[in-house]
Structure 1
Amino acid sequence: MTTPTTPGRDEAREQALDLIREARSFLLVGHVRPDGDCIGAQGALYHGLRSLGKEVAIVNPHAPAPEFSYLSEACPYGVFEGGELPAHDVVCLLDFNDLDRTGAMADPIRNAGSKMLVVDHHPPSVEPFWDAAFVDVRASATGLLVWRILGALGAEVNDVAAKAIFTSIVTDTGWFRYSNTDAETLEVGTEMVRRGVDPATMYQAIYQRKPITEPVALAALLARAEYFSEGRLAVVDQPLGDPVLENLEDSDAVLDILRSVGSVEVVLYIRELKPGLCKLSARSKTSYDVNRLARGFGGGGHAKASGATIEGDLPEVRERLIHAAEEGFQRT
């Protein structure tokens, strides 16, 4: 594979491409606590649109995580601090399809009066509010969709954009281990390597720069794990106030370790963000749909990986989630 392609001809995606072609200035927006797919998709689209002579700005509710510093140093990821948004013709919402996922940015985006474009691979969670959408729920990553877009536009994919696309793919496929890894994903990953991306360097940057306190914190968190439904459901919670756990945020390592248990089909990781507010990260390795579970609590995502922010004290939220998850087993 030497050039990106857009499989098939989809009217909605063609409309999205036309909107990009016609617009002059863009604001790229990601969701709260942007992950590798979100950050990577933004970085690739930023450089691709700039190569076409477009004016582009990036503003997110939160800054990229430290492990993505190699992209932060090459892309101007702004952080919203209130006030007006940068001037733009089109606001491009990447890796989500619900404005509430932008936190405090939601109302300024609604009031901007600009065209809205969604580029996403998640199933829609709300009624369409956008002007155009480039969506494929079968795609392994939003960065993969950006690769298709840049190819359709004839945009340049420079060294930074290649790293950004690779970042999107590997972080959303668990380094090609998850069930969303398909032939196109592997082909695009290979193409990024052909373009100079060094997988070993990228892996070290993303996954091997943890603080020295990380192993002890992971051990303490795993010690809190409990199993339900004859071992099919694993649940771990992270309360506030524990000095060992206080610097440990969402950890794919915890989810992966619990998911590696033979009997476990579903893992729920519930983190107390502040008194009265919790964050759920849910993972499945079978046909169990954790997206359906998360939507029942105002969240969403994919069938195999989803999340939600839930009001309530940790013990109460935990019990509600366990009850709902066990009911879900009765439907599968």
Structure 2
Amino acid sequence: MATTPQTNTSLEAIAEILRGVESVAVCGHVSPDGDCLGSQLVVYHALENLGKNVTCLLAKSDPVEAGLRFLPGIDSMVPAAEFSGTPEAFVAVDVPTVERIGDAAAAVQAKCPITVTVDHHASDTAMSAYTYVDPDAAATTMLVWKLAELLGAQRTPEMALCAYTGLVTDTGRFQFQNTDKAAFAAAFEMVSAGADPAAVAREVFQNRSIASLELERIMLSRMRFGFGGAYVASYLTRADFEQTGAVKADAEPLINSIRAISGVRVACMLREEPEHIRGSFRAKDDTDVAAIANTMGGGGHKAAAGFTLHGPLEQAIERVDAAVAAALGVDGEADGWKAGDIRL
């Protein structure tokens, strides 16, 4: 594993720091996924086991997606905007920049004398006094799982379940390119400590709503290919969500359906939201979709990344097409959609 240039400490040193404080706030990024929530809760349980006063924060007041509400400790999480305490230490996990910790930036992090980051997202900047970022780690839960051991906390079945959930989601059920020997070794440890893979699969991957399936039907009807089939994309509008009664979490699995198509190298899903267009990329080869997302102000992992664009959906499509074409080294426009085809 290789840390980033922004890393200025070790997990051993972070464990020593956290053992020396009595109160801690733990926060992740806005729109938290399984790795984010799992990482927060591993740290939460580990520090609570050591007798610390720990508060787990949500970067925004949005509800946690249904498929992750089974995680032990999830009900103890507090929206950062509603938290008025001043802990000795603020620990950011699975989040690289202060903008991504949402309400916690002003409400909590800025007031804490000790700030720590443990993450696996490479970034050009560091937001904490003590920073440990390892982009080779398949999931941040792998890092906090090790941190829990270094803290001297008992790694309980509850912690193992949270850690395994983060690992299995960030590796796409161990199908993404970040799945390596270290990921399987960590999964073995977590299952040995009490994580139940079948329970996680049932809650996270086999728990879709009818509204989600309706969204998938709409998404597939708009699917189009480009660049000789190397690129597949689709989109959803606000009207689609209103028509189906779906929520944002219902759209999360959809990109994996089109990524699975034979011949596809890069998949993209665009989702219209009230003030912007949210986009997601997935890669099936060595194409670095984090680099593509970065050209549009986003980021993520080599195989999975996201971005936010402002303006009409038609403009977002044109910009994404151009970015993907440059990354794939092809000339011309993607096949399929024209401006008049976008069904708003």
Length-normalised TM-score, structure 2: 0.87
- Counterpart-to-counterpart distance in 1, 2:66 and 2:223: 27
The alignment covers a number of residue pairs equal to 323
- Post-superposition Cα deviations, 1:272-331, rounded to whole Å, max 9, x if no partner, equal 111x40111111111211111111111111111111122112111121111111112128
SS in 2 for 1:111: helix
Return the letter of the residue paired with 2:107.
P
User: How far apart in 2 are the matches of 1:303 and 1:269?
Assistant: 16
Question: In the alignment, is the contact (CA less than 8 A) between 2:211 and 2:245 conserved in 1?
Answer: no
Tell me which residue corresponds to 1:238: 236
Distance in structure 1 (CA, Å) of the matches to 2:235 and 2:92: 31
The answer (yes or no) to whether the contact 1:27–1:90 under 8 Å persists in 2 is yes
| Number of the residue aligned with 2:194 | 196
Query: Unmatched 5+ residue regions in structure 1?
Result: 1-5
Q: How many Å separate the matches in 2 of 1:315 and 1:168? A: 34
The 1:92–1:110 alpha-carbon spacing in structure 2 relative to 1, beyond 3 Å, is closer
Helix, strand or coil: the match of 1:28?
Answer: strand
Spell out the pairing of 1:26-175 with structure 2 (5 A cutoff).
26-60=24-58, 61=60, 62-71=62-71, 76-82=76-82, 85-124=84-123, 126-175=124-173
Using the TM superposition, give the Cα deviation of residue 7 of structure 1 relative to its aligned residue in structure 2, in angstroms: 10
Query: Do the aligned partners of 2:277 and 2:311 also contact (CA within 8 Å) in 1?
Result: yes
Q: Distance in 2 between matches of 1:189 and 1:138?
A: 16
Aligned position for 2:308 = 309
Shift of 1:75: 5.2
Segments of structure 2 that go 5 or more residues without pairing to the other structure are 331-344
Q: TM-score, normalised by structure 1?
A: 0.90
Which residue number in structure 2 is paired with residue 213 of structure 1?
211
Deviation at 1:212, TM superposition (A): 2.4
Q: Offset of 1:233 from its aligned partner?
A: 1.1
**Corresponding residue for residue 223 of structure 1:** 221
Let me know the Cα RMSD of the aligned residues: 2.3
Per the alignment, in what secondary structure is the counterpart of residue 29 of structure 2?
coil
Query: CA 1:215–1:157 in structure 2 vs 1: closer, same or farther (change >3 Å)?
Result: same
- Whole-angstrom distance in 2 between the partners of 1:109 and 1:309: 25
Q: What's the CA shift string for 1:208-249, capped at 9, x where partnerless?
A: 222223222211111111111111111111111134455153
- Distance in 2, Cα, partners of 1:313 & 1:228: 21
Whether the 8 Å CA contact 1:216–1:244 is kept in 2: the answer is no
Counterparts of 1:252-263 in structure 2, within 5 Å, are 252-263=252-263
More displaced, 199-208 or 240-249?
240-249
Partner Cα separation in structure 1 for residue 188 and residue 110 of structure 2? 41
Identity %: 27
Aligned partner of 1:182 among 176, 180, 183 = 180
* Distance across 2 between alignment mates of 1:280 and 1:197: 32
Q: Provide closer, same or farther for how the CA distance between residues 76 and 220 of structure 1 changes in structure 2, counting only shifts above 3 A.
A: same
CA distance in 2: counterparts of 1:205 and 1:102, whole angstroms: 26
> In structure 2, what residue type is equivalent to 1:247?
A
Cα distance in 2 between the residues matched to 1:121 and 1:90: 20
